Amino acid sequence: MRATLAADAIAVEERWCARNYKPLPVVISRAKGVWLWDADGHKYLDMMSAYSAVNTGHGHPRILKALTEQAERVAVVSRAFHTDRLGPFLAKLCQVTGLDGACPMNTGAEAVETAIKAARRWAYTVKGVPADRAEIIVAEGNFHGRTTTIVGFSSEPEYRDGFGPFAPGFTLVPYGDAAAIEKAITPNTAAVLLEPIQGEAGIVVPPAGYLQAVREICDKHNVKLILDEIQAGMGRTGKWFAFQHEGIRPDGLCLGKALGGGVMPVSAFVGTHELIASFKPGNHGSTFGGNPLAAAVGLEAIRVIEEEGLVQRSAELGGHLMDRLRAIGSPLVRQVRGKGLWVGVDIDPGLATARAVCEELMRRGVLSKETHETVIRLAPPLVISREELDWAIDRLEDTLAAMHPGRRDHDRSALTQEQA
C-alpha cells in the first residue's frame, strides 16, 4: 500500500492544480533542517532551499517559536492600525541593509512592483520627469517575478507568450555590460533594476567591477540603482547581500524568500529616504503586508542568520563547494559558477539534460532543480554542515560519472548512520 502513496498524491494534484510547474516526481511530506522525506519514507538532502526561501533550514525551532507565539497573540490586523511588531522588524531590516526605510509586502514580485512604483513616483515628484514618461532600464536574462508588468520586460519568450499587452517604460540591455546601461539612459530614466547575480538565468555572475561601474553611472546621471536580491540576499552568497561583494550601496533593495524564515511569505522593498518618502497614504498598500505574524517571523529570521553565523558559514562552505565541483572534471560539465552557497552547474546539452541529471540525483537522495534545461542549481540551506555538503557533492559526482559512457560509477549512495 505504501508504494502507492506518492503516485496517488501526484494524481490528485495533477487533477486539480494548474500545470504551471513541472516538478520532479517526488512527494515531500515532512522536512527538518537540510533533510526532506517523501510520502513513502525516503530521505533526501535539500540542495534547493525552495529557491533560497529556506536559508535558515526547515523548521528552525526559533522561527517556529516566534511564529506560534505571535499567532497566539495576533496574526493579522492589516495596516489600518499600528502594531508592536512592525517597527522593530523594519528597524532591524534597515540596519542590516544599510538603508533608510522599508515598505513591507508579501511576495518577491510585490517587492519588485513596489520598487517600480517608488522609482516612478520619485522620477515625477523629484527629478521632474514628465508625467507617464518614466523609464526603467533592465537586463536581458532577468527574472523579477510573474506579474504582467514584470514579465512584460522579460527577455524570455516563454514568460511573455500569451500574456500581453504589456506596460511600456522598460528598456532591455545586455547583462554585465555597464556601458550599455549608460548608453540607454535618457532624461526620462528613473532607475536601473538589476539582479546582482541572475538566479533563474542559471546563477550568472557578472564581471568583477560591474556593480561599481553601474553605481557610478547612476550617480552621474541622477538615476536610482535598485537591486533585486530576493534570491541572492540574506546570506546566500557569503555576504548579507550580494552588492556587498563590490562595496556599493544601492538606492533600493527588493527582498523576500528567506525573509520569511522558510515558514511564510514575507517581502519588503527597502530604500533610501528619497525613495521611501515617495509613498503617501492611499497610493500603495497590501492587506497582509507588514502583518504582525510576518513581522515577528521576519525579525527572528534575521536574528537567526546573524546570531548563528550563517553568512560566514555560507562564505566558507561556498568556497569548499566551488573547489570540489571544479575538481570533478566531468565531460558533462561546461562551467561551474556562483558565490557562497549558490552555484550553477552548467551541463553540456549534447551529452545530457539538466533535468535528467536532477532526476538521477533524486534517485540517489539529493533534490535540486534544473533551470533553462542546462543548469543544475545547488543552493542548500545555510545551516548545512560540511559533512552533509560533501555527501551531496559525492552523489553529484557519482551521478555525472554514471551518466557519461566509459566512466565508472563509484556508488556512495548509502547514508552512514551518522549522516542519516
Phi-psi region of 46 (alpha: psi -120 to 50; beta: other; left: phi over 0): beta
- The rounded distance, in Å, linking the Cα atoms of 296 and 136 is 34
Q: Would you list the DSSP string of 165-198?
A: -----EEEE-TT-HHHHHHH--TTEEEEEE-SSB
Q: Which three cell numbers stand for residue 104?
A: 513591507
Whether the CB-CB separation of 37 and 383 falls below 8 Å is answered with: no
Residue 112 phi/psi, 5-degree rounding, is -70, -45
Pairing assessment for the beta strands 267-271 and 252-255 based on DSSP bridges: antiparallel
- The rounded distance, in Å, linking the Cα atoms of 376 and 332 is 12
Between the alpha carbon of residue 161 and those of residues 22, 79, 152, 170, the distances in Å are: 18, 36, 10, 18
Closest CA to 227 of 200, 248, 204, 250: 250
- The rounded distance, in Å, linking the Cα atoms of 391 and 399 is 12
Pairing assessment for the beta strands 43-46 and 35-38 based on DSSP bridges: antiparallel
Alpha helices (runs of H) in 123-250, residue ranges in sequence order:
148-152, 157-160, 178-184, 210-221
- The rounded distance, in Å, linking the Cα atoms of 44 and 130 is 55
- The rounded distance, in Å, linking the Cα atoms of 105 and 199 is 21
Residue 104 phi/psi, 5-degree rounding, is -75, 140
Alpha helices (runs of H) in 232-339, residue ranges in sequence order:
273-276, 292-307, 310-328
Catalytic sites, residue numbers: 143, 228, 257
